[in-house]
């Protein structure tokens, strides 16, 4: 209730009685003597003293609030003079303390119960101390006043004031203000002294009562103007917490009633007080690392957390800033372990991670192994909880209706996964389906619970990784399908008339199945690292059984799916339901087999729709993928049978879709699966995974041939699937007739045999169709022979058979073969498209650190230089004197033009170098012989290279960069490699490019240096030169292949393990890493060679292990570059950790 307004005319009440006192207006203080005269205590002159106190108050306020800035120095001088005059002659004389007159007046008023006078005197002391606190020159006087305050006889007066009856706020408040000033004076220097006298200054009962004196009927502005006793007491307690030393702080926090009372009325406190409470407790208690957890826990009781939560989420009139602050405070408290109440604990209750193996049955032969049942605690006892406070706090939250509280709860569950099972163990609520906002809120909350990430190491919080024993399946299950989601409830949800309820249930199940799959993976890793894998495997089985008992049968999902019409209005529901059906088949295949589900109809419809729309769009794409994944597991799909609604058979339709979206793994994998499973395409694990028959088939169809080709392919597929033995016999006979082993057919697809057989019927087709088919067949055979050379002999024979029936194919074949560049571009494009998702997948699945590592590699290593679009260097040297051209380094870029991808640039460079060679020979340069020799040998090398590999093949950069670097040496006879380079040049008129790197490795790494003066130093200089050349030289796949085939890489990769003397270890190691990185970067074959021939991945790990932490990332990044280039699936396939699609 607010105070009545002065102007309100209220005739029902008698008029206020005028105050009968002799109060005078404050007197202006002009000199110190005036103060001395006024502030004198006489028993008969209390009113005069009161007037004087008012005048002093006005004077002090003028100083404190800077009201008279020009007079301020004079006022300070008056104050100083007055205080000096009040100093006691003897500081130990208790009878005559500092400001004796005022203390006597307080004592007298106290004896006479003159509360108003007590209030006036105590207020003036508080004000004076406040003024002195802000004036650095008055520090001595401030100390003197504080010490006077903490004298026993004065503290007694204060204590009396603090204990005054509740309604006498005017007595209590000034005493609290005075104490607050003393605690905080000079950064809390006297706080300890004050706390020593806690009987008077920190009486628990008194403080607790005062903390409860809250004004509930005031708004924020009133509260600021008339500060309540509670607010002052809160500030006093907080000041103690802020300024006390560790021991006293612990002592204060032990007084639970005070800690509790501090938060009790938080809801009614003004915002600034709430902010102060939260800030001080966080900064001075929770973040104080010297305080023990038990002391911090005094602040963090469940009740206190609930009161802060009221401010954060449930108080509508509270300003937003305070609410956010309270929410952040709670988030920190719930998630930061050092704050006191959060203890790390996931899926293992204390003492359940290990067991004494020597006592288990497994180790003794005479006992029966009971597996998990031999563990006394496993799935039997209600688990011991480490975070009881947090549990009772989360029980208080309303996650179903308040999103902020849900966020807080999920944070708690994420930080402490043990709470999930414990929370649902105590909650009895069920998710009975009913279309209400409460149900939706609760269902979405459960979705979030299931969607929580898995704790690391299957919930073991030990630093050592996975525990010896698996976590209890009953605990894990609550995180996958919480208790309210019973089979009965979920089944009812799936059979609801409300689509929204069914949809929510389906989504929860989808996420639960995905989580179960993740848990299974995690358990498998746990089993591989445990001494008792049998227990882990048993735990997986047990978990899956319990999951199956809790989730509804597949038939309910099938029913729900059948209810959904196949139209635009039900796409999201169809997507979710098909995903759930797919997960049933993939995660719990045995459960899926319980109910027959004919996928053909929905699949055909989806294919028809995709075919009409020239590819599925929006949610239709995942629906089709889900149906295809289910169809893969199903035996009822007739892949090769053409249906009325589909233009082609399902497999050909799928092939067409795949050709439009080659990055789609679902399409590719399924096609491979169907065609290989039906023996139409062959497979061989020894082959590079990318060079599969499907790859060849796809490459042959990239021209988007007309439908007759696809009809023909469909027909061939159908024939091959119907009579695989017949066509296999044909192939075997063919092989036999040419004297090949039957095994040579291992890599020949039956499709080719069918095509060869059907070729004679193609001859009878109309011209247009025949042309299209012949063209496709030519591509198919050429690509087969080119990409799978192991099968080329047998495929050639099949080709001849086709050529007999269709002579026009010879022309087409020649055309295709002549245009090798186009063919290679086609293969390269296809490979890059097919491998795109793999590399993207790597980038996506790799943690952030991996991305950072790759980024770091890019920063650490120079990117491979790209060829410029213009080549001014071709003619730059002509316009200069020969000497100057060499000095200006114009020749080296010209030499590099021999490696240009553009044939005309290479020809021009060759002509220019020839001219240059003649000019050098005719010049008067000192080094002309050596230079001429070098350029002549380079030209000779180029000529022999083009003669061997064709004019289309550029000179490898390894050769051109070597020549460019050797040129610099020839111009500098003092160079440490001068002798060796000249020796090399004198050996032969041209260079064998493949032998170039091994030669220089032999001459430097495995030999002594030419300069014997300082062997170590020159040895490393030479090695470094070679390394720098190799880094510069690896720019294309051709360069990488030279290094891989010549065995140079293996020799270089030994270097990081060597002892380094006389050179920076980093200089050598990083150069080697850069060479390896470049080999991986230039192309998939480089990465492939590194993994398969040089154990590049293990090597990068070993090197990383030997490096300091800061540089480890660079080494790891090389491994990452290899993985991203080659594709994780290919690596796994090669390692044998994953089977290639069969």
Paired tokens of 943: 């000529």
Site residues (CB under 8 A) for other proteins, limited to 398-417:
400-403
Cβ at position 76, least distance to other proteins in Å: 53
Q: Rounded to an integer, what distance in angstroms lies between the CA atom of residue 769 and that of residue 570?
A: 41
Cβ at position 500, least distance to other proteins in Å: 4
Residues near 599 by beta carbon (within 8 Å), at least 6 away in sequence? 627, 630, 631, 634, 636, 637
Tell me 31's DSSP state: S
Cβ at position 1118, least distance to other proteins in Å: 23
Site residues (CB under 8 A) for other proteins, limited to 812-841:
837, 840-841
Cβ at position 73, least distance to other proteins in Å: 55
Please identify which residue in the block is written with the tokens 């950790």. Answer: 1137
Site residues (CB under 8 A) for other proteins, limited to 652-711:
none
CB nearer other proteins, residue 32 or residue 619: 619
Q: Are 523 and 536 in contact (CB under 8 A)?
A: yes
Q: Rounded to an integer, what distance in angstroms lies between the CA atom of residue 400 and that of residue 439?
A: 8
Cβ at position 305, least distance to other proteins in Å: 21
Under rule CB under 8 A, residue 726 binds other proteins: no
Q: Rounded to an integer, what distance in angstroms lies between the CA atom of residue 484 and that of residue 480?
A: 12
Site residues (CB under 8 A) for other proteins, limited to 372-401:
400-401
Selected from 256, 768, 844, 983, the binder of other proteins by CB under 8 A is: 844
Q: What is the chain's Cα-based Rg?
A: 44
Under rule CB under 8 A, residue 510 binds other proteins: yes
- H or E element, residue 507: helix 499-529
Q: Rounded to an integer, what distance in angstroms lies between the CA atom of residue 345 and that of residue 461?
A: 6
| Residue 603: Cβ within 10 Å count | 23
Selected from 58, 384, 411, 571, the binder of other proteins by CB under 8 A is: 571
Q: What's the CA angle centered on 691, arms 687 and 697, to 5 degrees?
A: 130
Under rule CB under 8 A, residue 499 binds other proteins: yes
Cβ at position 438, least distance to other proteins in Å: 5
Per-residue binding string, other proteins, 585-624, x by CB under 8 A, is --------------------------------xxx-xx--
Q: Which stretch binds other proteins (CB under 8 A): 232-240, 410-418, 506-514, 1096-1104?
A: 506-514
Under rule CB under 8 A, residue 1015 binds other proteins: no
Among 799, 621, 786, 806, residue whose Cα is nearest residue 699: 786
Cβ at position 219, least distance to other proteins in Å: 23
Selected from 200, 301, 573, 745, the binder of other proteins by CB under 8 A is: 573
Cβ at position 567, least distance to other proteins in Å: 10
Selected from 27, 193, 310, 448, the binder of other proteins by CB under 8 A is: 448
Please identify which residue in the block is written with the tokens 């848990």. Answer: 519
Query: Which region, left, alpha or beta, applies to residue 676 given φ > 0 means left and ψ of -120 to 50 means alpha?
Result: alpha
CB nearer other proteins, residue 833 or residue 979: 833
Under rule CB under 8 A, residue 452 binds other proteins: no
CB nearer other proteins, residue 573 or residue 812: 573
CB nearer other proteins, residue 617 or residue 824: 617
Under rule CB under 8 A, residue 957 binds other proteins: no
Residues near 639 by beta carbon (within 8 Å), at least 6 away in sequence? 649, 650, 651, 674, 678, 721
Q: Which stretch binds other proteins (CB under 8 A): 493-501, 810-818, 827-835, 947-955?
A: 493-501
Cβ at position 862, least distance to other proteins in Å: 23
CB nearer other proteins, residue 190 or residue 624: 624
Q: Rounded to an integer, what distance in angstroms lies between the CA atom of residue 497 and that of residue 710?
A: 44
Burial 151-170 (b: 16+ CB within 10 A, else e): eeebbebbbebbbbeeeebb
CB nearer other proteins, residue 290 or residue 568: 568
Q: Rounded to an integer, what distance in angstroms lies between the CA atom of residue 215 and that of residue 235?
A: 16
CB nearer other proteins, residue 162 or residue 443: 443
Selected from 570, 771, 994, 1051, the binder of other proteins by CB under 8 A is: 570
Q: Which stretch binds other proteins (CB under 8 A): 502-510, 555-563, 882-890, 1081-1089?
A: 502-510
Q: Are 697 and 710 in contact (CB under 8 A)?
A: no
Q: Which stretch binds other proteins (CB under 8 A): 178-186, 269-277, 498-506, 694-702?
A: 498-506
Cβ at position 569, least distance to other proteins in Å: 6
Under rule CB under 8 A, residue 443 binds other proteins: yes
CB nearer other proteins, residue 811 or residue 844: 844
Per-residue binding string, other proteins, 38-77, x by CB under 8 A, is ----------------------------------------
Q: What's the CA angle centered on 843, arms 839 and 848, to 5 degrees?
A: 165
Q: Rounded to an integer, what distance in angstroms lies between the CA atom of residue 7 and that of residue 946?
A: 109
CB nearer other proteins, residue 622 or residue 1119: 622
Under rule CB under 8 A, residue 504 binds other proteins: yes
Q: How many residues bind other proteins (CB under 8 A)?
A: 41
Under rule CB under 8 A, residue 441 binds other proteins: yes
| Residue 860: Cβ within 10 Å count | 18
Q: What's the CA angle centered on 542, arms 465 and 474, to 5 degrees?
A: 70
Under rule CB under 8 A, residue 563 binds other proteins: no
Q: Are 132 and 79 in contact (CB under 8 A)?
A: no
Q: Rounded to an integer, what distance in angstroms lies between the CA atom of residue 1120 and that of residue 1090?
A: 12
Among 888, 865, 861, residue whose Cα is nearest residue 876: 888
Cβ at position 568, least distance to other proteins in Å: 8
Q: Are 671 and 654 in contact (CB under 8 A)?
A: yes
Among 1032, 901, 1042, residue whose Cα is nearest residue 966: 1032
Q: Rounded to an integer, what distance in angstroms lies between the CA atom of residue 660 and that of residue 666?
A: 13
CB nearer other proteins, residue 188 or residue 441: 441
Under rule CB under 8 A, residue 1102 binds other proteins: no
Among 1091, 1092, 1108, residue whose Cα is nearest residue 1100: 1091
Paired tokens of 91: 């500081």
Site residues (CB under 8 A) for other proteins, limited to 421-440:
435-438, 440
- Interacting residues toward other proteins by CB under 8 A: 400-403, 435-438, 440-441, 443-444, 447-448, 451, 498-500, 503-504, 507, 510-511, 514, 569-573, 576, 579, 617-619, 621-622, 837, 840-841, 844, 848
């Amino acid at each position: 209730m607010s105070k009545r307004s002065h102007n309100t005319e209220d005739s029902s009440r008698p008029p206020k009685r005028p105050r009968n006192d002799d109060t005078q207006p404050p007197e202006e203080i002009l000199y110190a003597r005036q103060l001395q005269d006024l502030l004198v205590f006489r028993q008969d002159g209390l009113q005069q003293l009161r007037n004087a106190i008012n005048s002093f108050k006005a004077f002090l306020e003028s100083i404190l609030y800077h009201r008279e800035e020009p007079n301020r120095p004079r006022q300070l001088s008056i104050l100083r003079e007055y205080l000096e005059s009040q100093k006691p002659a003897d500081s130990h004389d208790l009878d005559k303390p500092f400001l004796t007159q005022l203390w006597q007046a307080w004592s007298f008023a106290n004896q006479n119960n003159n509360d108003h006078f007590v209030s006036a005197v105590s207020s003036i002391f508080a004000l004076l101390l406040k003024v002195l606190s802000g004036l650095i020159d008055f520090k001595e006087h401030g100390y003197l006043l504080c010490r006077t305050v903490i004298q026993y006889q004065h503290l007694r007066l204060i204590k009396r004031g603090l204990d005054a009856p509740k309604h006498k706020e005017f007595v209590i408040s000034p005493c609290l203000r005075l104490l607050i000033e003393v605690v905080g004076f000079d950064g809390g220097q006297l706080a300890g002294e004050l706390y020593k006298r806690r009987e008077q200054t920190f009486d628990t009962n008194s403080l607790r009562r005062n903390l409860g004196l809250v004004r509930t009927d005031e708004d924020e502005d009133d509260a600021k103007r008339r500060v309540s006793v509670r607010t002052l007491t809160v500030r006093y307690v907080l000041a103690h917490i802020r300024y006390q030393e560790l021991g006293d702080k612990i002592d204060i926090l032990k007084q639970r009633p005070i800690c509790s009372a501090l938060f009790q009325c938080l809801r009614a406190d003004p915002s600034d007080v709430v902010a102060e409470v939260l800030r001080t407790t966080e900064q001075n208690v929770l973040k104080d690392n010297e305080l023990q957890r038990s002391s911090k826990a005094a602040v963090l009781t469940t009740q206190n957390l609930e009161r802060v939560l009221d401010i954060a989420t449930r108080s509508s009139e509270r300003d937003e800033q305070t609410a956010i602050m309270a929410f952040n405070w709670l988030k920190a408290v719930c998630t930061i372990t050092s704050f006191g109440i959060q203890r790390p604990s996931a899926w293992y209750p204390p003492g359940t991670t290990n067991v004494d193996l020597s006592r288990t049955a497994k180790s003794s032969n005479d006992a029966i192994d009971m597996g998990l049942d031999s563990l006394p605690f496993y799935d039997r006892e209600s688990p011991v909880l480490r975070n009881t406070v947090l549990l009772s706090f989360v029980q208080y939250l309303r996650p179903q209706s308040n999103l902020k509280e849900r966020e807080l709860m999920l944070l708690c569950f994420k930080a402490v996964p043990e709470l999930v099972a414990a929370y649902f163990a105590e909650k009895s609520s069920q998710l009975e389906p009913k279309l209400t906002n409460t149900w939706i809120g609760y269902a979405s909350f459960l979705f979030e619970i299931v969607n929580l990430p898995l704790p690391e190491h299957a919930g073991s919080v030990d630093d050592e990784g996975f525990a010896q024993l698996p976590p209890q399946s009953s605990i894990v299950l609550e995180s996958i399908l919480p208790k309210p989601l019973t089979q009965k409830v979920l089944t009812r949800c799936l059979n609801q008339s409300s689509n929204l309820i069914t949809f929510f249930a389906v989504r929860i199940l989808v996420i639960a199945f995905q989580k179960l799959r993740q848990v299974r993976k995690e358990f498998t890793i746990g089993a591989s690292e445990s001494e008792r894998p049998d227990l882990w495997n048993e735990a997986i089985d047990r978990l899956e059984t319990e999951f199956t008992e809790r989730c509804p049968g597949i038939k309910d999902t099938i029913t729900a799916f059948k209810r959904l019409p196949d139209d635009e209005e039900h796409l999201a529901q169809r997507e979710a339901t098909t995903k759930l059906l797919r997960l049933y088949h993939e995660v719990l295949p045995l459960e899926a087999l319980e109910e027959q589900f004919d996928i053909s109809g929905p699949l055909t419809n989806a294919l028809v729709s995709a075919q009409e729309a020239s590819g599925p769009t929006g949610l239709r794409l995942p629906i089709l993928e889900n149906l295809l994944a289910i169809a893969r597991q199903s035996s009822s799909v007739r892949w090769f049978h053409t249906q009325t609604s589909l233009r082609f058979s399902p497999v050909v339709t799928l092939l067409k879709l795949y050709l439009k979206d080659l990055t789609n793994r679902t399409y590719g994998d399924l096609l491979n699966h169907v065609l290989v499973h039906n023996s139409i395409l062959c497979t061989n694990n020894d082959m590079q995974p990318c060079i599969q028959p499907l790859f060849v088939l796809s490459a042959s169809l990239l021209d988007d041939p007309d439908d007759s080709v696809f009809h023909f392919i469909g027909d061939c597929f159908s024939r091959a699937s119907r009579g695989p033995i017949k066509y296999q016999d044909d192939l075997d006979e063919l092989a036999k007739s040419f004297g090949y082993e039957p095994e040579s057919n291992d890599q020949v697809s039956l499709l080719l045999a069918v095509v060869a057989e059907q070729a004679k019927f193609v001859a009878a087709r109309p011209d247009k169709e025949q042309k299209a088919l012949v063209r496709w067949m030519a591509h198919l055979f050429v690509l087969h022979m080119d990409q799978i050379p192991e099968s080329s002999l047998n495929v050639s024979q099949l080709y001849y058979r086709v050529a007999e029936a269709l002579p026009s194919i010879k022309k087409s074949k020649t055309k295709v073969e002549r245009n090798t560049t186009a063919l290679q571009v086609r293969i390269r494009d296809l490979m890059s498209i097919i491998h795109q998702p793999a590399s993207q997948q790597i980038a996506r699945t790799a943690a952030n650190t991996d991305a950072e590592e790759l980024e770091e590699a890019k920063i650490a290593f120079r990117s491979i230089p790209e060829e410029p679009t213009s080549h001014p260097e071709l003619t730059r040297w002509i316009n200069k004197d020969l000497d100057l051209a060499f000095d200006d380094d114009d020749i080296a870029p010209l030499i590099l033009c021999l490696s240009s991808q553009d044939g005309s640039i290479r020809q021009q460079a060759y002509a220019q170098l020839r001219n240059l060679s003649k000019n050098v020979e005719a010049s008067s340069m000192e080094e002309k012989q050596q230079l001429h020799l070098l350029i002549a040998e380079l030209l000779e090398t180029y000529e022999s290279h083009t003669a061997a590999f064709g004019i289309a093949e550029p000179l490898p950069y390894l050769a051109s960069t070597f020549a460019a670097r050797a040129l610099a040496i020839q111009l500098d006879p003092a160079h440490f490699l001068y002798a060796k380079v000249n020796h090399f040049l004198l050996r032969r008129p041209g260079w064998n490019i493949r032998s170039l790197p091994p030669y220089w490795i032999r001459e430097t790494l495995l030999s002594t240096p030419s300069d014997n003066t300082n062997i170590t130093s020159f040895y490393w200089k030479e090695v470094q030169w070679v390394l720098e050349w190799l880094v510069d030289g690896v720019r294309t796949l051709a360069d990488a292949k030279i290094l891989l085939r010549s065995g140079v890489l293996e020799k270089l990769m030994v270097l990081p393990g060597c002892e380094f003397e006389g050179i920076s270890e980093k200089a050598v190691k990083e150069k080697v890493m850069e060479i390896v990185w470049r080999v991986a970067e230039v192309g998939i074959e480089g990465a492939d060679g590194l993994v398969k021939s040089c154990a590049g991945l293990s090597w990068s790990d070993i090197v990383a292990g030997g490096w300091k932490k800061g540089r480890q990332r660079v080494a790891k990044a090389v491994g990452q570059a290899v993985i991203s280039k080659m594709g994780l699936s290919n690596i796994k396939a090669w390692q044998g950790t994953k089977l290639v699609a069969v």
